[in-house]
Amino acid sequence: MTRKPESRKHPQVVIGLNAVLAAVENAIPKTLCVKRQEGWALPYGRFDPDKHRTFELGLRDLVKQQTSLSLGFVEQLYTFGDEGRESPSAVMMEGEDSDRIVSVGYLGLTASPEQPHGDNIAWRDWYEFFPWEDWIGGDPKTLLAKFLPALEAWAKDADNMPQQQARMARINRAFGIAPHPWEEERVLQRYELMYEAGLAAENWRDRHRQPPTIFANILPFTGTAMASDHRRILATAIGRLRGKLRYRPIIFDLMPGQFTLFELQRTVEAIIGFPLHKQNFRRGIENSGLVSKTAQVLSSGAGRPAALFVLNRSGPSSDDFHDRSIQGLTLPRWRG
């Protein structure tokens, strides 16, 4: 009879890699997801120090293996290592379930979301996971009305008045309740509030509990749950990308070689989640020196043909394009 190996006395740390691969298709922001038993997940895998010299090389390799896609621009996002966030068996990694998986997250961008191979891999609209982040159609009052009262009830349920006030202050600032403005890059703070208040399905799953009826009726309106803490990783990536638009020309990693200003505006709006003032946006782009008009036009068959633009890579910083500072976009919100 074969003896089962004894469990290790001390848990080990396992290094994992996660990729948030973002693209915009038909003015819809999407992220590449892999289907797991617990739901949609980000591409993931274990870092192999014998095979890969760096984390980034390991990430590129695992994404290629899982999705058949090659990554373009990538940057390290954050390291996620909360206790209990993942177990090796859940992600088909070697190790014991007592081991701690520490995941290094990466953000990658592509201008052409190729269709991956496999039925369990798909590009998903990221507003499916964060419906309250989509303000393209205006202030989502109907959606917010479904869960803001529950957030306020959670705030009032704090142990004492200072804690109640602190919770309400977090809610007001996160969701742009007067006098606070809506800050599009605070995606993670909003999700963490929803999680703490029991308005994210992952909260109940992680505690192995069924939500009470009052919560069960609200959860369908608060976004699709993701495996492990991948919705938190995705929220971190969206907030990072939204913030970088203002000080890096990163948006052009999501654009084709030639584009109209209308296409550029629609891509920016898809990422930040709210509409922009057309004339002010175009004026800001043309004055920034980030783009150059070509001699070509795009004819849609109706109306005047639109001029085609290209990214202007000329200038003293052109050799280090992604490190160009103070070269982001002005984002004039439409106040209609």
Q: What tens digit of pLDDT does each residue of 254-288 get?
A: 999 999 999 999 999 999 999 999 999 999 998 88
> Helix 278-288 vs helix 261-272: angle between axes, to the nearest 10 degrees?
110
Short-list 146, 141, 224, 232, CA closest to 189: 232
How far apart are alpha carbons 274 and 271 in whole angstroms?
8
φ, ψ for residue 131, nearest 5 deg? -60, -25
Residue pLDDT, tens place only, 13-69:
888 899 999 999 999 999 999 998 888 999 988 888 899 899 999 999 888 888 877
Q: Is residue 120 within 8 Å of residue 32, measured between CB atoms?
A: no
Nearest C-alpha neighbor of 36 from the set 56, 66, 76: 66
Structure confidence at residue 94 as a pLDDT band (50, 70, 90): low
d(CA 171, CA 163) in angstroms, rounded, equals: 12
Domain boundaries, the chain: 13-125, 131-223, 253-323
Task: Please tell me whether the overall predicted TM-score, pTM, comes out greater than 0.75 for this model.
Answer: yes
3-state secondary structure of 232: helix
CATH number of 253-323: 1.10.10.10
Examine the pLDDT at 3 and tell me if it is beyond 60.
no
pLDDT of amino acid 289:
85
| Chain mean pLDDT for the chain | 85
CB 68 within 8 A of CB 61: no
Residue type, position 261, single letter: L
pLDDT at 188 > cutoff 60:
yes
> Superfamily assignment of 13-125 in CATH?
Nucleoside Triphosphate Pyrophosphohydrolase (3.90.79.10)
Average pLDDT over residues 169-189: 93
23 φ, ψ (degrees, to nearest 5)? -155, 160
Q: Which of 12-26, 84-98, 124-138 has the lowest mean pLDDT?
A: 84-98
User: What is the band of 195 on the pLDDT scale with cuts at 50, 70, 90?
Assistant: very high
